[in-house]
Structure 1
């Protein structure tokens, strides 16, 4: 059986402008700083990573690669040797503050909450003294890494890690001194962190905790006087309620959020809210409005970190969820297939999520043959999501039952 090529790493080399030789040189440079001695990577090593001959490099290479590309190993196309592969922490001689000020060590995937906490460097969050906007920027960067981890491979140990970080920031809020501007920024950061924690909890199958986090995100957004944070929280609550089958509440929340000034002025928020509307009587109009809002995106300006996931693939995926909620299964199947076609190579969680959804839709329409073929293509090796694993197991169980039925 041929070893699959690491196409994700190939794409990253192109995006960052690396040749095989220049990437090896950069790995050696970063390795020297992390481990205190020069690295030994060559262009041959890079070719072996790309060809798939080496599917999980040693920590001496993996830690530098994670820093260079600022993402967890699975999001670079690497596959753990077993169910999980624990990354070693950098040597204890490497202390916070010794790294380059602009490019910090990436948020690294790990098999335990303790290692994830180390990777997020929660211990660097101050709890005494005077809080500045520079401190807020560091918090925001940390939350962005948490979001990137979730988008790439799923929740995994993130609920515990996010809750730990929330407690840390609450302690910061209690014991620090700061002015009104910093206070609002701190509440904005807490709102984003609660939103991230909410989706991590949902991914782990804990709906009650997820709902509490989304409500807390809304409260922090109000305290921050930040319309974007509030729109995000309303949108998350709407999708949460719909996932729980509470469609009327979801619709009421989403309609109210669409009337806010930020939804009217920011096409990204408008696209997000319209695509999550799920109104039986106006589904087509809502999805058309979402597509029109997407067409108005300012591609020259970087969106907020939490909205970077909202691309053409996600719009198609959200449309599929809306179609499914309103009973339009053929339309949902078509939109799900489109989302899978548009997804980037590093979005392992979403690819597995929509792959399973496609199989479920095919099963619901009685197309067992297509559902079986689709389920066979779902790859969860690089995904850490109890909810996704449970959904895939359910699909396989239904397929087995369907095959046994005469």
Structure 2
């Protein structure tokens, strides 16, 4: 039996801009900090990790990889050799002066539950809750919130809900316990708006619909207090989605249209593409098929302008051709066009980066559901067998996958 290429690690190398030789050098550098002497990794080692010839690197290299790529081993596509290998030992040497706290965090990362390990990896407990808060502090907060949003497509909302809401409580404490000027206050409101939106999505993914509604509403309020127009557009988009999930389809359409009329939607093709895609789903579920088709075309037209836009913020990095195709599939499905929905979902999976494990699993389940609905049960079983849920935490996806298994068993 041949080895399976580690597509997730390959995608992470592209995302971080590492060559095989460059990653090996960085592993050796970080290994030197951890162990007191540089490692001996070479580009050949990296090729073997990517090819799948080595499915679980030695601890000497695996610990530095987690430090560099900021995620647990399974989220890098590695497969434990057994139960014992998934609980990594700590490095044998004491950390260098000034590095102890960070090193302890990284060591703890491997033996704690996912929520605690993400908190420690991102250093969320370092945010001050007393004293003077500066713009530099808020820039660090914004960076942590962005990294938290980026984790969503890799590990799912189940692992992030507790982390995001816990960090939200800490930022509220900072608001109440710190002193700061007007500019810092505005920037802090903007960061909290972003965090509320991410937490709302995590709540939705974890099956906490009531909390998702409250968090999306708070996101809009904080974005308005922070005069953050992009944050407001994001919050309106999420509120429209929440209304649709709750079955309030006409309200969802009104909110979505209002968001599309903002300056951010007119100027940023990514926001426009996301809003048009969600508007298409809203029209489809409301029974207005011609309007849904027009919205799909508008989303695709906005996608064609992505190259003219500045780099997206962390929360929008998931949006590309794959996601636009996947959202179009949802609209086609709502219109009863199952064959078109199946083709669009298959295209989404073909285009989706391997590192976006949560989104790949989501659309994999969607493809299997469509194949079941079309009566192609053998193909649905093949699709289900390919869905990778290792190190993924999403109650929403798990429930849908269980329903597909029941349908196939029946």
Decide: shared fold, TM above 0.5: yes
Give the secondary-structure state (helix, strand or coil) at the position aligned to 2:231: helix
Are the counterparts in 1 of residues 268 and 309 from structure 2 also a CA contact under 8 Å?
no
For the aligned residues, what is the CA RMSD?
2.9
Closer, same or farther in 2 for the Cα pair 1:327/1:256, shift >3 Å? farther
How far is the alpha carbon of 1:88 from its aligned partner?
Answer: 6.5
Structure-1 separation of matches of 2:254 and 2:14: 45
How far is the alpha carbon of 1:71 from its aligned partner?
Answer: 4.7
Structure-1 separation of matches of 2:185 and 2:126: 19
Structure-1 separation of matches of 2:334 and 2:405: 22
Structure-2 separation of matches of 1:216 and 1:181: 20
Closer, same or farther in 2 for the Cα pair 1:6/1:296, shift >3 Å? same
Are the counterparts in 2 of residues 194 and 214 from structure 1 also a CA contact under 8 Å?
yes
What does residue 152 of structure 1 align with?
154
Closer, same or farther in 2 for the Cα pair 1:15/1:237, shift >3 Å? closer
Are the counterparts in 1 of residues 132 and 180 from structure 2 also a CA contact under 8 Å?
yes
How far is the alpha carbon of 1:142 from its aligned partner?
Answer: 0.9
Are the counterparts in 2 of residues 75 and 347 from structure 1 also a CA contact under 8 Å?
no
Q: Deviations over 1:191-224 (max 9, x none)?
A: 1111111111111111111121111111111111
Decide which moves more: 30-39 or 219-228.
Answer: 30-39
Structure-2 separation of matches of 1:36 and 1:122: 27
Are the counterparts in 2 of residues 80 and 382 from structure 1 also a CA contact under 8 Å?
no
What does residue 392 of structure 2 align with?
383
Q: Is residue 359 of structure 2 the alignment partner of residue 350 of structure 1? A: yes
Q: Is residue 267 of structure 2 the alignment partner of residue 265 of structure 1? A: yes
What does residue 332 of structure 1 align with?
341
Structure-2 separation of matches of 1:114 and 1:75: 15
Structure-1 separation of matches of 2:191 and 2:14: 33
How far is the alpha carbon of 1:147 from its aligned partner?
Answer: 1.3
How far is the alpha carbon of 1:66 from its aligned partner?
Answer: 2.9
Are the counterparts in 2 of residues 79 and 382 from structure 1 also a CA contact under 8 Å?
no
What does residue 217 of structure 1 align with?
219
Q: How does 1:3-402 map to 2 (within 5 A)?
A: 3-13=3-13, 18-81=18-81, 85=86, 93=95, 111-277=113-279, 278=281, 279-280=283-284, 281=288, 282-299=291-308, 301-401=310-410
Closer, same or farther in 2 for the Cα pair 1:304/1:296, shift >3 Å? same
Structure-1 separation of matches of 2:79 and 2:205: 21
Give the secondary-structure state (helix, strand or coil) at the position aligned to 1:317: helix
How far is the alpha carbon of 1:16 from its aligned partner?
Answer: 5.3
Structure-1 separation of matches of 2:22 and 2:94: 28
Structure-2 separation of matches of 1:132 and 1:378: 45
Structure-1 separation of matches of 2:229 and 2:20: 45
Q: Deviations over 1:118-148 (max 9, x none)?
A: 1121221011222111111111111122112
How far is the alpha carbon of 1:263 from its aligned partner?
Answer: 1.6
Aligned residues: 398
How far is the alpha carbon of 1:314 from its aligned partner?
Answer: 0.9
How far is the alpha carbon of 1:114 from its aligned partner?
Answer: 2.3
How far is the alpha carbon of 1:272 from its aligned partner?
Answer: 0.8
Structure-2 separation of matches of 1:138 and 1:47: 34
What does residue 404 of structure 1 align with?
none
Are the counterparts in 1 of residues 33 and 95 from structure 2 also a CA contact under 8 Å?
no
Decide which moves more: 87-96 or 243-252.
Answer: 87-96
Q: Which runs of 5+ in 1 are unaligned?
A: 402-406
How far is the alpha carbon of 1:10 from its aligned partner?
Answer: 3.4
Are the counterparts in 1 of residues 269 and 302 from structure 2 also a CA contact under 8 Å?
yes
TM-score by length of 2: 0.88
Closer, same or farther in 2 for the Cα pair 1:97/1:248, shift >3 Å? farther
Give the secondary-structure state (helix, strand or coil) at the position aligned to 1:276: helix
Decide which moves more: 188-197 or 295-304.
Answer: 295-304
How far is the alpha carbon of 1:11 from its aligned partner?
Answer: 4.4
Q: Deviations over 1:80-108 (max 9, x none)?
A: 456894566788746877899xxx98xx7
Judging by fraction of residues, say which structure has more helix. Answer: 2
Are the counterparts in 1 of residues 158 and 203 from structure 2 also a CA contact under 8 Å?
no
Q: Which runs of 5+ in 2 are unaligned?
A: none
Give the secondary-structure state (helix, strand or coil) at the position aligned to 1:156: helix
Are the counterparts in 2 of residues 320 and 335 from structure 1 also a CA contact under 8 Å?
yes
TM-score by length of 1: 0.88
Give the secondary-structure state (helix, strand or coil) at the position aligned to 2:306: coil
Closer, same or farther in 2 for the Cα pair 1:23/1:260, shift >3 Å? closer
Decide which moves more: 113-122 or 345-354.
Answer: 113-122
How far is the alpha carbon of 1:382 from its aligned partner?
Answer: 4.0
